[in-house]
Chain A
Amino acid sequence: MTNSSSTPLIKIRNVHFSRGSKLIFDGVDMDIQRGKVTAIMGPSGTGKTTLLKLIGGQLRPSTGSIEVDGQAIHKLKHKELYQLRKKMGMLFQSGALLTDISVFENVAFPLREHTQLSESMIRHLVLMKLHAVGLRGARDLMPAELSGGMARRVALARAIALDPMMIMYDEPFTGQDPISMGVLVRLIRMLNDALGLSSIVVSHDVQEACAIADYVYLVSGGKVIEHGTPAELAASDSQWSQQFMQGLADGPVPFHYAAAKEYAEDLMGVDI
């Protein structure tokens, strides 16, 4: 196994992917370093979640390669893929908690499925993971009784239950109030450093993602537009980066969706 700290944990090379006739990725290259928090940012609809699914092996690229911990994930057999996934955690935007079992049972779920641990050991581990996200007291609640932020924290406790080598976060800050947002930002950084994880955060919340990321990739139009540390991107003179990082309404990404006719012509003419 290529486990040395100098080699990237994930190597993405020249990945193309399309859904139907729509091209989502048109030659993407990325390196995700071990032990770091890497943010992948870009406007909505640029396929950031699709990229996480490609890394997790839920989708396969049309061409190109994706190596996770030295293994080409798109070439793995079903059994090998599932073995590798035990070392990967993923936090879905919705939390994806199982709605028919309690918070405790949700966190215990991967432990019960993949280990033969005794009930008392499972209890200890679950309480430790829930304590780490500040929700030990919510263990008996059902997922429907949790707020959005709490559900994501429970999902995070579940994602770290098997002590994975990496966690992928899909839009962790979307729809959160400022307090939950602050809690999540702190948790992602803290868990990454305390547990020696590698984290990938897919987000379009520039400030929050930049606050915790060691390295940032900006993705748009199926390509990596720019990459670097948050400071490097903030100082970048690329118009596109400036528009995205500063949230400008108009720029290389136009305010107006492309229309077939000029404005005046459209107003004067009869639409057929």
Chain B
Amino acid sequence: MMDFLQRLGVKSLGVLERLGRGTVFFFNILVSVPSVLVRPRLLFAQMYSVGVLSFSLIVISGLFVGMVLALQGFYTLSDFGAEGMLGVMVAASLVRELGPVVAALLFAGRAGSALTAEIGLMKATEQLSGMEMMAVDPVARIITPRFLAGLLSMPLLASLFSAIGVLGGYFIGVGLLGIDEGGYWSQMQAKIDFSEDILNGLIKSVVFGLVVTWIAVFEGYDAVPTSEGVSRATTQTVVHSAFAVLLLDFILTALMFGDN
């Protein structure tokens, strides 16, 4: 029993210590944001690799999620003779929930894991140490541009995911299942509220972008500098990001839509 308690204590202390290091790391990133903003080229290069290279994954996934939503929604709504509401259902599900959450999970798998592996390998091959010895702060030069790129890309990717999903719903609803085209769009226009739905969805995607990118860059920077360590850090990025996104989604949804 004592042994178990001791192990639990050691483990808890380890987790707390890591959280502390992660928080200090986050503040170091924030402090170096101005130095990146005066050199936007660093940021643009990272937005390309973090954001643009995730483009096709987001577009294809968004299309299929929208199509499946339309198929599933149609059969439920048609029971109540409410097929005309299909556009609203697809758009609301995407903009409020699926857009930010699924895009964040895909982003963690595609861009987050790549960020962790890249930074972890830079650490393992002494590139970060080398920079420190050249009097170049690796947090300002390597980490912060990647962090900002993730933070800015995530809402854009989530919006793109939702927009393409709505189009996917249109192809299935109007093209395949034959519901009225005007109804699909006009119901959506009438029922989707900018601040209630779109803005709240956007806030979610900003929060997810921040958390996923923070986890990704921290796991890379804090990785044990061996091939096994980098591999473990990459896995942890995906696992921790998924947990964090789903947990935060619940909290944010409860705060935003709980009183309706």
Contacts and interface: CB of A to CB of B under 8 A. Distances in A.
A83 to B, nearest CB: 7
B130 interface: yes
Contacts, number: 48
Contacts of B133: 56, 58, 85, 88-90
Interface stretch (A106-114, A174-182, A215-223, A234-242): A106-114
A93 B125 CA distance: 10
Contact of A92 (B130, B136, B141): B130
A82 B135 contact: yes
Nearest to A93: B126
B129 A96 contact: yes
Contacts of B141: 113
Contacts of A97: 127, 130
A120 interface: no
A58 B129 contact: yes
A213 B132 CA distance: 27
A59 to B, nearest CB: 11
A224 interface: no
A90 B127 CA distance: 12
A86 interface: yes
A83 B125 contact: no
B181 interface: no
B126 A85 contact: no
A92 B134 CA distance: 12
A96 B126 contact: yes
A44 interface: no
Interface in A99-140: 99, 109-110, 113-114
B35 to A, nearest CB: 11
Contacts of A62: none
A98 B127 contact: yes
A99 B127 contact: yes
Interface residues of A, number: 23
Contacts of B132: 56, 58, 85
Nearest to A168: B133
A147 interface: no
A110 B141 CA distance: 12
Nearest to A94: B126
Contacts of A58: 129, 132-133
Which of B132, B135, B141 is the most central at the interface, judged by chain A CB atoms within 10 Å of its CB? Answer: B135
B193 interface: no
Interface in A136-186: 155, 158, 162
B137 interface: yes
A110 B129 contact: no
Contacts of B134: 85, 109-110, 113, 158, 162
A90 B135 contact: no
A48 B188 CA distance: 69
B127 A82 contact: no
Contacts of B135: 82-83, 85-86, 110, 113-114
Contacts of A88: 133
Interface in B91-130: 125-127, 129-130
Interface string B3-35: 000000000000000000000000000000000
Contacts of B127: 96-99
A96 to B, nearest CB: 3
A98 B122 CA distance: 8
B137 A92 contact: no
Nearest to B133: A90
Contacts of A86: 135
Given A90-B130, A96-B130, A110 B136 contact: yes
B170 to A, nearest CB: 41
Contacts of B126: 92-94, 96
Which of B129, B130, B132, B137 is the most central at the interface, judged by chain A CB atoms within 10 Å of its CB? Answer: B130
B5 to A, nearest CB: 22
B77 to A, nearest CB: 51
Given A83-B135, A94-B125, A96-B130, 16 more contacts: A56-B133, A58-B133, A85-B133, A85-B135, A89-B133, A90-B130, A96-B127, A97-B130, A98-B130, A99-B127, A109-B134, A110-B135, A110-B136, A113-B135, A114-B136, A158-B134
27 contacts: A58-B132, A82-B135, A82-B137, A83-B135, A85-B132, A85-B134, A86-B135, A89-B133, A90-B130, A90-B133, A92-B126, A92-B129, A93-B126, A94-B125, A94-B126, A96-B125, A96-B126, A96-B127, A96-B129, A96-B130, A99-B125, A109-B134, A109-B136, A110-B135, A110-B136, A113-B135, A158-B134
Which 8 A-B residue pairings sit nearest by Cβ, starting from the closest? Answer: A96-B130, A85-B135, A96-B126, A90-B133, A82-B135, A86-B135, A92-B126, A110-B134
Interface of A: 56, 58, 82-83, 85-86, 88-90, 92-94, 96-99, 109-110, 113-114, 155, 158, 162
